[in-house]
Amino acid sequence: MAVHNYYEVSDNSIKRLRQSCPRCGDGFFLAEHKDRLTCGKCNYTEFKK
């Protein structure tokens, strides 16, 4: 997946389309799965409700 799929640029603002990992910080995005969000670096997992 290309990096431009993680951001949306409009006029003078940039919006992140995916959540950042709370452990690793900015620049490390959580992968979206059917039932969870996971970090590929530290294996942090959040389950969707």
pLDDT at 1: 46
Cα angle 6, 23, 47; round to 5? 70
Q: Which residues contact 13 (CB under 8 A, 6 or more apart)?
A: none
Cα angle 33, 38, 14; round to 5? 90
- Per-residue pLDDT tens digits for 29-40: 999 999 999 999
pLDDT at 3: 58
How far apart, in whole angstroms, are the C-alpha atoms of residue 45 and residue 40?
10
Question: Is the entire prediction scored with pTM above 0.85?
Answer: no
pLDDT at 29: 93
Q: Residue 18's domain spans which residues?
A: 3-47
Instruction: Name the stretches of the chain with pLDDT < 70.
Output: 1-4
φ, ψ at 37 (rounded to 5°): -115, 135
pLDDT at 19: 92
Cα angle 40, 42, 47; round to 5? 75
Provide the number of structural domains found in the chain.
Answer: 1
pLDDT at 4: 67
